[in-house]
Amino acid sequence: MGTVEKNQTFFFPHPFNHLAYTPDVFALLSKNFLFFRIVSIILWFNHFVQIHHLLCNAFQARTELFDTKHQNAFRLFNGFYEGEPNLVIDIYATTAVVYNYADRPFEGAAAVRTAIESIRTELPWIRAILVKTRSGTPDEKRGVLVFGEKADTRIIEHGVRYSINLTMNQDASLYLDTRNLRQWAIQNLSGKTVLNTFAYTGSLGVAACAGGATRVVQVDKNREFLNVAKTSYTLNGFPINKQDFLAEDFFPAISRFKRQGITFDCVFLDPPVFSITGRGRVDLEGESERLVNKVRPLVSDGGWLVVVNNALFVPGKDLMGMFESLCGSGYLSIESILPVPEDFTGYPHTCLRPPPVDPAPYNHPTKITVLRARKRKNS
């Protein structure tokens, strides 16, 4: 994990960086440096006040999510919708994860610094602050600890313990936008068999175990991710069957299950937006239907196929149209759409801009669809 050195200084963009310097303006500033500095400070302060105001509104909107023991996880500020698109803040227990999404990191640095100061002022129970820079170095993408001694390694959600490794990669090891889906798994999968494809750190499978599933198979190429899932099992006292943690590519794993005639009462399909391996290609913008058809044979008669599509530029009506077309045969039906929690979408009084593409009938670009499958007779 990266840390900030004791005397490290932060570089922030000068408020005048983008002004057009005409000869008259240049002459004025050259003759009066003090004037320049005063105006610069005023502009910086105004920017600070604006961001701090946005953050305080967001914090206030989420007060019901602050548990007294500070063990849960949620999105504290979604700048994409709440007024500062370069900034996102997530809470994992007593750790705040601050994301700098600026294409040129220095352009988001002032917002990050304001966020850090606001968090330390408004949320004194925060013990660690981690900054992730999406366009930074590999270490900066994984996260730099700028406050505190150590980031949290577990959270509790809906009474279930999840292991987290906040610096394992550019994400934070637990996707908060699928919180309602984990709750659905807890409520619906008692006595069921479950396949969790593209499992990442296995949180959907962990939720299924918490709900009483009889068997959960977790499939992900990355063994390190699956080890986090195993730690979650241990935290909850679930037995670990090594043969149900498959560190392999999705495509050969699915093909093998088909050859063996293995089916599951529920299959989760939550792939990355785009990926190419030596065994296959994932493209949620152009080839979602192909992936759905790939796993359909693995769903038992009357079972669920749960599909997550988080492609930002796929309109909700297009995705729904695809599902309606697939359901035309009568062997699939749309049972429900699961909403993304409000801390992700922004609240009515904090949301200042819509998504770049309309996700309706879904409420967020992370589009979660629960399908029911029926088998053909004698199949």
* Topology, domain 177-373: Rossmann fold (3.40.50)
The answer on pLDDT for 34 being more than 90 is no
User: Model confidence at 11, in pLDDT bands (50, 70, 90)?
Assistant: very low
Instruction: Flag whether pLDDT at 30 surpasses 70.
Output: no
Per-residue three-class SS string for 186-201: HHHCCCCEEEEECCCC
> With contact defined as beta carbons under 8 Å apart, do 298 and 268 qualify?
no
Residue 141: is its pLDDT beyond 70?
Answer: yes
Q: In angstroms, rounded to a whole number, what is the distance separating the alpha carbons of residues 180 and 34? A: 54
Which amino acid belongs to residue 201? T
Give the list of residues 6+ apart from residue 71 with CB closer than 8 angstroms, or none.
Answer: 93, 155, 156
Span 7-22, average pLDDT: 43
pLDDT band at 38 (very low <50, low <70, confident <90, very high): low
Q: Mean pLDDT, the chain, as a whole number?
A: 91
Q: What is the pLDDT of residues 292-316, one digit of tens each?
A: 999 999 999 999 999 999 999 999 9
Task: Give dist(CA 43, CA 377) in Å, integer.
Answer: 71
In the predicted model, is pLDDT for residue 9 greater than 60? Answer: no
- The pTM is what? 0.88
User: For 19-57, b where at least 16 C-beta lie within 10 A, e where not — what string?
Assistant: eeeeeeeeeebeeeeeeeeeeeeeeeeebbeebbebbeb
The CATH class given to the 2-10+21-147 domain equals alpha beta
Using 50, 70 and 90 to split pLDDT, how confident is the model at 376?
confident
Predicted local distance difference test score (pLDDT) of residue 200: 98
Give the pLDDT of residue 5.
Answer: 39
Does the pLDDT at position 188 exceed 70? yes
Domain ranges of the chain: 2-10+21-147, 177-373
Q: Do 2-10+21-147 and 177-373 share a fold?
A: no
Altogether, the residues listed in the chain come to a count of: 379
**pLDDT, tens only, 163-183:** 999 999 999 999 999 999 999
* Mean pLDDT within 312-334: 97
